[in-house]
Structure 1
Amino acid sequence: MKKKKIKFGIIGLGHIGTRHADCIINHPDAQLVSVCDINSKDQWRKLNPNIIFSNSLEGLLKQDVDVINICTPNYLHASMAISVLNSKKDVVIEKPIALNTLDAEKITQVASSHNKIMFGVMQNRFSPTVLWLKNIIDANLLGDINMISVNCFWNRNENYYLNSTWHGSKLKDGGPLFTQFSHFIDIINWIFGDFSNISANFSSFQSKDYIEFEDSGIVNFHLKNKNNNTPIESVFMYSTALWNKNFESSITIIGKKGTIKIGGQYMDKIIYCDVKNYTVPQIKMQTECNDYGDYQGSASNHDKMIDHVIKVLLGSNNDNKTHNFSDGIGVVNIIERIYNLRN
């Protein structure tokens, strides 16, 4: 008996859309049936002549596919996701799933009404260092947590904005917490829970007419300790104004029984670990970044994300806790509350 393959469609064949396409094409249990983009993408079509091409979402929705991956500009994610779900197909939504909480909640309501599944792309959860850190916290090896510091210092150059019709737009892009750093807010939310008592300062060190929001910020907030009511003092410092290239993405956690820092450009390295009665295990570090030529994105774990989607849809997933769409809503809500202070 021939094994069933999950049939995919993709809307948006930019940098991240082609990454999704490669992961689907190379997966033995998947078939990329159709793609959609407003541009002709002639070179890509020559290399993939057997994949149906459409220049409209309506054309893609008519194809015989199980799930559609939305890889379009941020401001289109929610409306397109709702259209996909209304066509009775499952949906994979690149980050951010929406630019406000109300739209994110609408997606879940429509999915529930059609008994369909929504997958928010949270590929950094598959990074070996992040999984290791979550296991440390879940096992309470650090005891009560006193402080957490998150640093994300990246570069986004002029070409990044000028070669795009939406990067830098407050309405279409939303800002660096949505476009660059939502994955790292997701990691904190996934491991520690919701933010409270938020305060923030925002700066524009590279003031340009084509950037309608900050390029840097310092966000102070509280997280909950598992064992007591003392809040965890936390700070998130971020910038896209670094010279030349990305510098660091890191999390430092200071607890009563130990201190841990994971870092590197993409939180792909254990920088420091001093924990009571604990020996650091050997961890396979194979995380790479998404390289887009003029700039680099976050960890390139989309192959693991696509594999997760396929296993869920085939009913062979054994890790139901890895992805929960309500987390996607939580991340949007956290960023929205931070940016309400900006507005």
Structure 2
Amino acid sequence: MKFAIIGCGFIAKKHATAIKQIPDAELVAVCDKVESAMTPYTEEYGVNTYTDMGMMLENETIDAVCICTPSGFHAPVAEAVAKAKKHIVLEKPIAMTIEETDRIIRAAKDNSVKLTVVHPNRFRPVVMELKKLLDEGMLGKISHASAKVNWNRNQEYYDQAAWRGTKQYDGGVLMNQAIHNLDLLLWFMGQPEQIFSMEATRLRNIEAEDVSAGVIRFESGALGTVEASTTVYPRNFEESITIFGEKGTVKIGGTNALYFEYIDIRDLPEAETEAITEKVKSEPWGIPGHQQIIHDLIKAVNEDREPLVTGEDGKKALELVLAFYQSAATNQPINMRRGVLV
């Protein structure tokens, strides 16, 4: 499959690298309003460059497009890509509003193109091992879970571009950094029922939040806590998810949630516990998540199935972030029905 990239900022490099690693994928074009941003791609990949998205989408050789624009532009770009009958790899968050998200999902369905959202942390070896344990019921009834993302994004990070840290185009720590952790929390714990959150902008000169704390009641009755920040000095401190069940306790953690920091499960033999712990330690990153997302899109097209991470998955993560925002703005609990804001 022949791929194009729209938006040649930092994250586009990961997409280009991932495409290069996939035997049945080729990067053939990039698009950006700033010509100099495309220079590295012409030098390394010999691709065609476009400053006009419409002209690029007229190229019939392009099968799929990676959308790497600022988040606030996802909806109109994704709609245009879908109407051009190109499959879509869409960076997180899927969009900034539910209305925009529904437009994207509808455009993909109406034009019979596949849509996947980049939540690559699902493919980390430790995450897949924990998901398997949960699906097998090894932890029993879950009482509660904790998700933490305490990272450093200094003022220079936000000053790189005018859209960073804005509510319209970027969002704060929940929308931009912790949304991956929230996606995993939903994947592990199921649908949320009620949300309460508080947030603040403490240290960064931005419009959106740089620190957030909240609680979730899931439809199962289990509780969850979420703590997220970009204010940590002087570097990333932790990313973790801990799940507490009647038959086990598991924490995946480190600065990027790559390892089992703690695993004690009643019905999991000690030798098996050590085996999966060492397996994860030996190759914590596994195959890069962006590569897995893009490769899965290709397989989804060839097999005519839904991608492993769908537009609806992206919508669920966005709805949770928006529920946190709504709760913080109103200082009230927010009710959800089957994961949807009500």
TM-score by length of 2: 0.89
Structure 1 residue 75: deviation in Å? 0.3
Structure-2 change in CA distance of 1:207 and 1:26 (3 Å): closer
Match of residue 337 from structure 1: 323
Match of residue 256 from structure 1: 246
Structure 1 residue 300: deviation in Å? 4.7
Structure 1 residue 321: deviation in Å? 7.3
Structure 1 residue 288: deviation in Å? 4.6
User: Partner amino acid for 2:318?
Assistant: V
Match of residue 231 from structure 2: 241
Q: CA-to-partner distance for each residue in 1:300-332, whole Å, 9 max, x for gaps? A: 521111211122223298xx6732321111111
Q: Is the 8 A contact 2:252 2:262 kept in 1?
A: yes
CA distance in 1, matches of 2:28, 2:204: 43
Match of residue 194 from structure 1: 191
Q: Is the 8 A contact 1:192 1:224 kept in 2?
A: no
CA distance in 2, matches of 1:190, 1:160: 30
RMSD of aligned residue pairs (Cα, Å): 1.9
Q: Is the 8 A contact 2:196 2:328 kept in 1?
A: no
Match of residue 39 from structure 1: 34
- Higher helix fraction (1 or 2): 2
Runs in 1 of length 4+ with deviation above 6 angstroms? Answer: none
Q: Is the 8 A contact 2:150 2:238 kept in 1?
A: yes
Q: CA-to-partner distance for each residue in 1:146-205, whole Å, 9 max, x for gaps? A: 111111100001110111121111111122211111111111112222222111111222
CA distance in 2, matches of 1:62, 1:177: 36
Match of residue 310 from structure 2: 324
Match of residue 27 from structure 1: 22
User: Partner amino acid for 1:99?
Assistant: M
Q: Which runs of 5+ in 2 are unaligned?
A: 330-342
Tell me which moved more, 211-220 or 38-47: 38-47
Structure-2 change in CA distance of 1:80 and 1:20 (3 Å): same
Match of residue 58 from structure 1: 54
Match of residue 213 from structure 1: 208
Corresponding residue SS for 2:19: helix
Corresponding residue SS for 1:312: helix
Q: Is the 8 A contact 1:97 1:328 kept in 2?
A: yes
Match of residue 292 from structure 1: none
Does 1:159 pair with 2:156? yes
Q: Is the 8 A contact 1:215 1:240 kept in 2?
A: yes
Match of residue 166 from structure 2: 169
* Partner residue of 2:217 out of 215, 222, 236: 222
Structure 1 residue 26: deviation in Å? 2.7
CA distance in 1, matches of 2:3, 2:82: 14
Q: Is the 8 A contact 1:125 1:322 kept in 2?
A: no
Match of residue 100 from structure 1: 97
Q: Is the 8 A contact 1:287 1:301 kept in 2?
A: no
Structure-2 change in CA distance of 1:106 and 1:87 (3 Å): same
Q: CA-to-partner distance for each residue in 1:14-69, whole Å, 9 max, x for gaps? A: 11101101111232101111111122236414523631001121122122211111
User: Partner amino acid for 1:186?
Assistant: D
* Partner residue of 2:291 out of 298, 303, 307: 303
CA distance in 2, matches of 1:71, 1:332: 17
Corresponding residue SS for 1:48: helix
